[in-house]
Chain A
Amino acid sequence: MTSGTITDGPALRDPHTPDSRIGHGPDYLHAEHTLRSWFFTTDHKRIALLYLASITAFFVIGAVTAGLVRLALVVPDGQVFTNDTYNKLFTIHGVVMVWFFLIPSIPATFGNFLIPLMIGARDLAFPKLNLASWYVFMTGAFFTLVSVVLGGVDTGWTFYTPLSTAFSNTWVVPALIGVTIVGFSSILTGLNFVVTIHTMRAPGMTWFRLPIFVWTHYATSLIFLLATPVITVALVLLIAERAFHIGVFDPAYGGDPVLFQHLFWFYSHPAVYIMVLPGMGVISEIVPAFAQKKLFGYRFVAYAAIGLASVTFFVWGHHMFVNGQSDLASVAFSVLSFAVAVPSAVKVYNWTATIHKGSLKLDTPMLYAMGYIGLFVLGGLTGLYLATLAINQHVHATYFVVAHFHYIMVGGTVLAFLGGLHFWWPKFTGRMYIEAWGRISAVLIFIGFNVTFFPQFILGYLGMPRRYHVYPAEFQFLNILSSAGSTILAVGYIFPMIYLVYAIWFGKRAPANPWDARGLEWTVASPPPAHNFLTEPQAPKVPYDYPIQARETGRQHS
C-alpha cells in the first residue's frame, strides 16, 4: 500500500456517499447521521464501533496507570507513591485491562463487526440484545469508575479473600458490582455469537468453510457461556461476604477463603483463553492473506480452538500450587496444564507452516502477526515452566509470572488486536491509513514490548516479588530498563491512535479488498452497506482459497 496523501475530502462528515463506488444506497456509516442513530442502533457494525470507542478509552486508563506503576518502580525505595496509592494503581490497571479491555477487546469489536459478514448474514441473531450488551457493559464500567473516583481499590485484580473481605479499607463493593455486571455483557455477547454461528450461516456456508476467526469466536463464546456465570456467583458471594459478612469465605463460620480462589480461577483461567482465542482467530486471517497461501491444516486449527476451550476448564489449580492444595491435585493440574500446550503449539506450527514458502508481504498487519507468533511462543513456553511444580515453588508470585502473562496478553492479544485493527480498518472506515506510520509503530511496539517485559523474567527468576514497590537495590538496573521500554511502548501505542483516526477523514479511499484477501467480508464494499450484502452471498467452496496451496502431504513436488 502506498503511503496516503490527503485525498477527496472528509468521509464521515460527508453526507453523500460517492456513488461511483457503491451505487446501491448509503453504507452503514452514512445510513443515518444523528447521535440517536448511533446510541440506539441495532446494526452490529455500529455497535462494534461503540465498543471500539469504549474499550479504547479503557485502554488509555489502563495504560496510564501502568505508566505510573512503572514510574514508581524506577527507584528501589518506594518513594514515588505511598504504599496505598501504589496498591491502588496496580489494581486499577489490572481490573481495567482485564475486564474492560482484554475480555471485550476482539470479540465485542471485530467479532461483532465481522462474524455476520464472514458467515454471510445480515446481522447477529439478536440485534437488540447486542445493543443491550453494550449498555450493560457501560453500566458495569460506571460502577467500577465510581469506585476509582471515590478512592480506588487495593486488592489486586484477583480480589483474593480475606484481603478483599476483611482487611481492605477501600471501595471494594462498587468495583465488584461493576465487574459482576460486565460479566453479563460477556454472556450476552457469547450467547449472540453461538446462536448466530449456529443458525445464521448463508446457504452453502458449512462449518468447515467457516474462517478460523469464526471458529475461535465460537470457542470463546462457549467459554463466555460456561465460565462467566461461575465468576458471577463468586463475586455475588464476595459482595455478600463483605457487605453482610455471611461467612462463606471465613473459616470462623465454616467457610473457606480458598473456596474463593477455586471459584475465581475456575473462571479466570478459562478467561485467559477468552482473551487469547479471538487473537488466534485474527492471526489465522492475517497470515494466509499476507503469505497469499492457503492456511495450513485448516481442520487442525479449527479443532485446536475447540480443544483449547475444553481443556482450559480443567487446569485452574495451577494458580494454587502453593496454597496448600493436595499434592495429588497439584500433580493432576500440572499434567493437564502441559496438555494445554498441545493445541496451542498446533496453532503456532500451522501458522509458521503457512508462512513457509508463501509469497510474503510485510505490511503492517503482517508485522503485528509475526510479532504475535514470536511473543506467544515465549509466553506459552514460560507457562510450561510455571506449570512445573518444582519451578513454580521458586517463581510463584514473582515478576516471572508477570512477564509470562504479559507476553501472552500484551505480546499476544494486544498485538493481535492492533494487527486486526490495521487489517480491517479499511473495511471499518473505508479509508487507508498511512502504511509507513503503521510499520514504524509495529516495530516500535515490538521493541518496546520486549525491553519492558523481558527483564521481568530475569527479575522474577532472581526473586523479585510482584506487587511490591520497595525492592533490593540490586534489582534497580533491570527495573529501569523495563520502565524505559515502557516509554517506547507508549509511543508505539500513541501513533496508531493518531494516524488511524486521521485516516478516517483524510485517508485514501479503500477498495473493497485492499489486501487481496479471501473471505466474504472482502466481497462487500468498504465500508459495507447498511445491510451487509446487496446480493445473496456466495459461500466459497474452500476456505482460504489463496493462489499458493499448502502442501499438506509433503509428498508432492512442484
Chain B
Amino acid sequence: MSGGTSVGVRLASHFATVEQQKHAAVLGMWAWLLTELLLFAGLFLTALILRLTHPEAVQAAARHLKFWIGAVNTVVLIGSSLTMSGAIQLSRLGWQRGMVRFMLATAALGTLFLALKGYEYYADYHEHMMPFLSDRPYALTDSPPSRLFVNLYYVATGLHGLHLLTGIAILLAMTRQASRPGFLAAHQNRIEIFGLYWHFIDLIWIVAFPTLYVLNR
C-alpha cells in the first residue's frame, strides 16, 4: 500500500451503505452487458446462418477481409485490456497518477485499434468492397449473398467501433476527473465498473474476429 492515497467510494444519499452502493453498480453494469451481449449475438447469429446457407459466397467475401489487420487489432485490444487491468490494480492501491497513465495507455491502444480499422475500411473502399454505396460498384457482383455478408460485416464492426469510441470517450473524461487529487478517495469503483465495460468490448471483438475473419478463410 506504499505511496497510495486513500481509496474509497463516497456514499450517495439514497444508499444505506457503501457496500450496497458498490454491489448495485456492479450488478447494473453486468445487466447492461447482458443486454449488449444479446444485441451482438443477434448479429453474429445472422452472419453464421448466412455462412451455413451460402458458404462459397461468404468465403469469397471473407477473402477480401484484411486478416492481418484483424489479427493485429485483436492483439492491440487484448493489450488494452491488460493496461486496463493494470489501471484497476493501481486504483485499488491508491496510486492515482500511475492509474491515470495506464488509462491513457488504454485509450491510446483503443485509438490505435480504431485507426487500423479505419485504414481497413479505406482499403475495402479502394477494392470496391462497400456494396452499400450506391455510387461505387461492388467488386463481387456475381455473388449477391457475399454482398450481404460484407454488409453484415460493416454493421457488426461498425457497432463494435461505436462501442469502442464511447469507451474511449468515457475513459478520457475519467482521466480528466482523475487528474485532480482525491478522485480515488471518492470514486474508486468507477474504475472497476468501467473496466467491466472495457473488457466486454474486447470480448466482443474476440468473438467477432473468428466469426467474421478466421472461420471463413
Chain A positions within 8 Å of B, measured between CB atoms, are 121-123, 125-127, 129, 187, 190-192, 194-196, 198-200, 225-226, 228-230, 232-234, 236-237, 240, 244-248, 250, 252-255, 259, 263, 531
Contact = CB atoms under 8 A, between A and B. Distances in A.
25 contacts: A122-B14, A187-B32, A191-B32, A199-B23, A199-B27, A226-B34, A226-B35, A226-B38, A228-B35, A229-B35, A229-B39, A230-B38, A233-B39, A237-B155, A240-B132, A246-B151, A247-B145, A248-B152, A252-B144, A253-B144, A253-B148, A254-B50, A254-B53, A254-B145, A254-B149
Given A194-B31, A263-B42, A125 B24 contact: yes
A247 B148 CA distance: 5
**Across the A-B interface, the 9 shortest Cβ-Cβ residue pairs:** A254-B145, A246-B151, A233-B42, A247-B148, A244-B132, A123-B14, A229-B39, A229-B38, A122-B14
B31 A195 contact: yes
Contacts of A236: 155, 159
Nearest to A121: B14
B14 to A, nearest CB: 4
B155 A191 contact: no
B12 to A, nearest CB: 8
B147 A247 contact: yes
A246 B152 contact: yes
Contacts of A263: 42
Interface in B5-51: 13-15, 20, 23-24, 27-28, 31-32, 34-36, 38-39, 42-43, 46, 49-50
Given A194-B27, A195-B27, A200-B20, A254 B151 contact: no
A169 B43 CA distance: 27
Contacts of B101: none
B158 to A, nearest CB: 10
A126 B28 contact: yes
B46 A237 contact: yes
Nearest to A42: B14
A198 B27 CA distance: 9
Contacts of B53: 254
B57 interface: yes
A122 B50 CA distance: 50
Contact of A234 (B14, B31, B42): B42
A226 B28 CA distance: 14
Contacts of A127: 14
Nearest to A225: B35
Contacts of B15: 122, 200
B54 interface: yes
Nearest to A116: B14
Contacts of A248: 46, 148, 151-152
Nearest to A192: B28
A225 B151 contact: no
Given A226-B34, A240-B155, A253 B147 contact: yes
A244 B155 CA distance: 11
Contacts of B152: 246, 248
B46 A253 contact: no
Size bracket, chain B contacts: 20 to 34
A478 B14 CA distance: 56
B34 A254 contact: no
Most chain A beta-carbon neighbours within 10 Å: one of B34, B35, B132, B155: B35
Interface in B29-84: 31-32, 34-36, 38-39, 42-43, 46, 49-50, 53-54, 57
A245 B131 CA distance: 9
A192 B28 CA distance: 7
B152 to A, nearest CB: 7
B14 A225 contact: no
Contact of B42 (A122, A129, A230, A246): A230
B122 to A, nearest CB: 19
Given A230-B38, A247-B148, 10 more contacts: A123-B14, A195-B24, A229-B39, A240-B151, A244-B151, A247-B145, A248-B46, A252-B144, A254-B149, A531-B14
A131 to B, nearest CB: 13
A534 B176 CA distance: 39
A229 B27 contact: no
A436 to B, nearest CB: 40
Contacts of B49: 259
A232 B148 contact: no
A139 B80 CA distance: 34
Contacts of B57: 254
Given A121-B14, A191-B28, A244-B151, A254 B20 contact: no
A263 B49 CA distance: 13
Nearest to A252: B144
A154 to B, nearest CB: 25
Contacts of A129: 28
B39 A232 contact: yes
A196 B31 CA distance: 12
B54 A254 contact: yes
A126 B24 contact: yes
Nearest to A266: B42
A255 B155 CA distance: 15
Most chain A beta-carbon neighbours within 10 Å: one of B31, B39, B54, B159: B31
Contact of B155 (A225, A226, A228, A246): A246
Contacts of A531: 14
Contacts of A125: 24, 28
Nearest to B27: A195
A245 B39 CA distance: 21
Contacts of A255: 148
B125 to A, nearest CB: 15
B198 to A, nearest CB: 19
Given A226-B34, A248-B46, A254 B28 contact: no
A127 B23 CA distance: 16
Nearest to A263: B42
A531 B46 CA distance: 48
Nearest to B50: A254
Given A187-B35, A194-B27, A200-B20, A233 B144 contact: no
Contacts of A252: 144
B144 A122 contact: no
A230 B40 CA distance: 9
B141 to A, nearest CB: 12
